[in-house]
Amino acid sequence: MSGHGVPVIGVLISGRGSNLQALIDAARDGRLAARIGVVISNVPEAAGLARAEAAGIETLVLPHQTAAGRAEYDVSLVDALRARGVSLVCLAGFMRVLGAGFCAAFPHAVLNIHPSLLPAFPGTHAPRQALAHGVRVSGATVHFVTPELDAGPIVIQGTVPVLDDDTEETLAARILEVEHRIYPEAVSRVLSGGWRIEGRRVVG
């Protein structure tokens, strides 16, 4: 269905889309042997939509408010992704929790990037949580998505130091650089295969 024999990725966003851009760049320069087939946003104003359009990628806005409930919304996402031959879904700042039905539709084929070293600081404002807790090291995590928020098996993590004079903004910016490096790496690793999940561990 990809038409080119390469795997088709679907990226889900809600905002700025800098991780989407990192994936676009990686696919363009050959670090990622995949095609981004569609970018879907639940927020019509998401700046990331323009990044996709600039790269010639199909965009779709699916506002969650129009769905009767979470399950119905998830079905509309699954339908849109399947219709485009997507085999791997990448959440990139997608601010909606996906339910068990969505995860079951793409088994071990939904990834998320989170700005902390999970399992520390799940949920929103992770850099703020890390600063408030006083950790000396933080970073980013790419993990498989399960119905439990920010809790699925970990593919890659990258670390950054937390500096004495950090603010939420400076720490988040340092983490974001790591995100942009490890997300394409993690997607590439998952697409290359040769791994398996043992308990919570991604090995191989």
Among 114, 138, 139, 142, binds ligand GRF (CB under 6 A): 114
Among 7, 10, 17, 184, binds ligand GRF (CB under 6 A): 17
Among 27, 113, 160, 202, binds ligand GRF (CB under 6 A): 113
Among 93, 139, 152, 184, binds ligand GRF (CB under 6 A): 93
Region of 17 on the Ramachandran plot (φ > 0 left; ψ -120 to 50 alpha; else beta): left
Q: Measured between alpha carbons, how far is 149 from 34 in angstroms, rounded to an integer?
A: 27
For position 16 contacting ligand GRF by CB under 6 A, the verdict is yes
The catalytic position among 114, 125, 143, 180 is 114
114 is catalytic: yes
Residue pair 64/34 in contact (Cβ under 8 Å)? The answer is no
Adjacency order of strands within the sheet including 59-61: 59-61, 35-41, 8-13, 88-91, 110-114, 137-144, 154-161, 201-203, 196-198
Enter the DSSP assignment of 2: -
Q: Which of residues 118-177 bind ligand GRF (CB under 6 A)?
A: 176
CB of 15 to ligand GRF, least distance (A): 5
Q: ∠ at Cα 63 (60, 64), nearest 5°?
A: 130
For position 18 contacting ligand GRF by CB under 6 A, the verdict is yes
Of 12-20, 61-69, 102-110, 184-192, which part binds ligand GRF (CB under 6 A)?
12-20
- Both tokens of residue 190? 């998952």
Interface residues with ligand GRF (CB under 6 A) are: 13, 15-19, 48, 92-93, 113-115, 176, 179
Catalytic sites, residue numbers: 114
